[in-house]
Chain A
C-alpha cells in the first residue's frame, strides 16, 4: 500500500504570513490532488497536478509536483483567516486506475 505523509500535521500562523505544506511518498503517482476540507463537509478539490515539475497557481496558492512525481507542496502567500481548514493531498496509484490514496492532512489555522 502506498502511503502519503503530510507535514506539518498542525500549523497555526498569523494572518499575512506565508506557509508551505508538504506531501511526500516513496512511491510514484500518476497524478496528485490537493483538497481542502472544512468541518462537517466533504473535501473540495483545489488542484490536480499531473506532470513532474508542474507548478499551478490558484490565486495566493501555489502547488508544485515533484520532478519524480513522488512529492508535492502547497505554498500559501499572505494567509487569510478564510484559508483555515484541513488540507489533504491525494495520489492516484500508478498501477491501478482511480484508486486514490489520501494523506492524513494538515490542519491549518490562521489567526486574525
Chain B
C-alpha cells in the first residue's frame, strides 16, 4: 500500500499564476481533505471531498477550489496566486483514521 501520495513535491510560481496540486488517497479511502500549513504553524483546513462533492470548507477564499475524481483522487487548484499562498499543502485521506501525504511545498515569488 503506497499510502497517500502527492505531486509535485515542490513548486515555484509567480504572483497571479494558477497552480494545480494532486493527491491520491490511501487504498480503500474515499474521503480526501486538503490543508495549508504555513511555516511554523499547524495545518489549516481548506476543504474536504467525499463522493466527488465538497462536503466541508474552511475559511479560504474562492480562489481555492478542488475536485475529486471517481477513483477518489483529488486536485487542489489555486488561482491568482499571492505571496501569502506560499506554504506546504497537505492532502489527507480518511477511512476510520486520517492519513497525511508528504505534502507539496509551494513557493510564490
Contacts and interface: CB of A to CB of B under 8 A. Distances in A.
Contacts of B4: 42
B41 to A, nearest CB: 6
A98 B43 contact: no
B56 A96 contact: yes
Contacts, number: 54
Contacts of B45: 99-102
Interface stretch (A12-20, A43-51, A68-76): A43-51
Contacts of B31: 98
Chain B's interface size range is 20 to 34
A30 interface: no
B41 A104 contact: yes
Interface string B25-45: 000000101010000111111
A29 to B, nearest CB: 14
Nearest to B41: A104
Contacts of A1: 59
* Interface SS, B side: strand
B33 A41 contact: no
A105 B100 CA distance: 16
A103 interface: yes
Interface in A27-60: 33, 35, 40-45, 48
A42 B37 CA distance: 10
Contacts of A104: 40-42
Given A98-B94, A99-B48, A99-B56, A42 B102 contact: yes
Contact of A105 (B33, B35, B42, B56): B42
Interface in B41-77: 41-45, 48, 55-56, 58-59
Contacts of A6: 42
A21 interface: no
Interface of A: 1, 4, 6, 33, 35, 40-45, 48, 88, 90, 96-105
30 contacts: A4-B42, A33-B98, A35-B100, A40-B102, A40-B103, A41-B102, A42-B4, A42-B90, A42-B92, A42-B100, A42-B102, A42-B103, A43-B43, A45-B97, A45-B98, A88-B43, A90-B42, A96-B56, A97-B56, A98-B31, A99-B45, A99-B48, A99-B56, A100-B33, A102-B35, A102-B44, A102-B45, A103-B42, A104-B40, A104-B42
